[in-house]
Amino acid sequence: MTVRRFPRSRQVATPYPATLDLNFLGRDTLDLRITFARADATTCATYFDSAGVLQTAAANIPRFGYNPATLELKGFLVEATAQNIAIRSEDFTNGVAWVNQNSNDAADQTTAPDGTVTADSLVQNGATASHGIVGTIVVVSGSTYTWSVFAKQNTSTVLQLTFGNANSTFTGLGYANFDLSTGVVSATGGTLVDYDIENCGNGWFRCWISATATASAATNNWIVIANSTTYTRLASYLGDDASGFFIWGAQVEVGAFPTSYIPTTSSAVTRAADVASVNTLSPWYNATEYTLYYEGIVQTNSNGIVYTGIGDTFDNTAYFSRTAPNQYVAVRSGGNSQTGPLTSNFTPTINVPFKMAAGIKANDFALCINGGTVATDTSGAVPLSAVRLGIGNAPWAASGGNQGQQWIRRIAYYPTRLSNTDLQAITA
């Protein structure tokens, strides 16, 4: 029998034990007190399992995600809704969805991140030109889009991603080069919102860029075979009829960062939001004072994300959130803000856990992140009539909201306002 071992969140003894302790690193199912839903119409919610293989979860089934490169458990995955508008995401030989640009492709040449032999090869031809493959998408002016693909080196090591065409749908025509041998972004140019490369194990990397559309029109998303780490956007060079790489899992979605992969065939596919909460507060909740603790990992530092909180409506709630460059705890009671809000200038690092704790008590509020300086506020009231604890969701609605993308490792509730020293200790 195989015994599964999970890393556990380090728990520090305090004078008052937690009356609710949700440790998502100690199990691969949800606590029975948690209500969870993800109303997917199709099986499109993916996650990396303990072997680093990309899996899919059925509707209303929670996902516990692992780092595919290190195989470490990241936590309980909570995401907002997203739609992949790149069709035929695993079939680059489909001539309707993808058009070769001085290149040749072949289907099903190697094992993809999901363990199936469905990854295609892309090889430059012998022309003097730019070499790659291009898809077509329709974008809306003012919206930010993220373009991502899984790639693995073969006889070439540098891949370029870029948006845009003659329609000038992306002013600045931003691009990034990704070195598939070293796992680094080797060059960028033009106008991008963000970019990165993620090690997905077994030689695979997920490469991505994000940019903001400046016109509403059909446009292109390119995968380019670059001939150097400093290759400029769609530059021409003499191909050798041999060099290329493997590609799989194309995704274009609205937003400034890539969410979990959503497979598509002949049309766009939408993944529903993860909505998780504890809706019965008795017997662990104390309406007079408390301390709320959160530990998790984020994919990117998106404004407006809600990590956890307690409330009934937005007018009566206490919750952790972010507005760059600060993480903060906001407290509202009777329709009025009760704190500043309390903020801490802290930027989480991707794939690195961080911890926050907030003390909630009338005229005695506090916030501490990773054992740092405690921010305090000495005026205000405790929120009224709480009915739920939001888990990676806004607590002021049964339908959730403001999920962002996060892997929650632990949420704990103490029925007292812990001392500032204790707040530092439990988040250190």
Query: 214-229 pLDDT, tens per residue?
Result: 999 999 999 999 999 9
All CATH 2.60.120.200 domain ranges of the chain, comma separated, are 20-80+274-427
The string over 125-145, giving b where at least 16 C-beta atoms fall within 10 Å of a residue's C-beta and e elsewhere, is beeebbbbbbbebebeeeebb
Residue 9 confidence (pLDDT): 56
pLDDT of 405 over the 60 cut: yes
Report which of residues 5 and 356 the model is more confident about.
Answer: 356
| DSSP sequence for 369-425 | ETT-PPEEE----PPPS--EEEESS-TT-TT-----EEEEEEEEEESS---HHHHHH
What is the spatial distance between Cα 60 and Cα 40, in angstroms, rounded to a whole number? 7
Contacts of 366 (CB under 8 A, 6+ apart): 342, 358, 359, 374, 375, 376, 377, 417, 420, 423
Residue located via tokens 């998106």: 302
Angle 360-364-368 (CA atoms, 0-180°, nearest 5)?
A: 65
| DSSP sequence for 155-216 | S--EEEEEE--TT--STT--EEEEETTTTEEEEEES--SEEEEEE-STTEEEEEEEEE-SS-
Helix (H) or strand (E) holding 426: helix 420-427
pLDDT of 6 over the 60 cut: no
Mean pLDDT of 248-263: 97
Residue 187 confidence (pLDDT): 97
What is the spatial distance between Cα 395 and Cα 384, in angstroms, rounded to a whole number? 13
Tens digit of pLDDT for each residue in 24-37? 997 788 999 999 99
Give the pTM. 0.93
All CATH 2.60.120.260 domain ranges of the chain, comma separated, are 84-271
User: Would you place residue 2 in the very low, low, confident or very high pLDDT band (cuts 50, 70, 90)?
Assistant: very low
Mean pLDDT of 323-338: 84
Report domain 20-80+274-427's class. Answer: mainly beta
Which residue type occupies 4? R
Q: Express as a percent the part of the chain with pLDDT over 70.
A: 96
pLDDT of 341 over the 80 cut: no
For domain 84-271, the CATH architecture is Sandwich (2.60)
Residue 311 confidence (pLDDT): 94
Tens digit of pLDDT for each residue in 98-127? 999 999 999 999 999 999 999 999 999 999
With beta carbons less than 8 A apart as the criterion, state whether 88 and 74 touch.
no
Residue 14 confidence (pLDDT): 66
pLDDT of 7 over the 60 cut: no
What is the spatial distance between Cα 194 and Cα 145, in angstroms, rounded to a whole number? 10
What is the spatial distance between Cα 408 and Cα 297, in angstroms, rounded to a whole number? 7
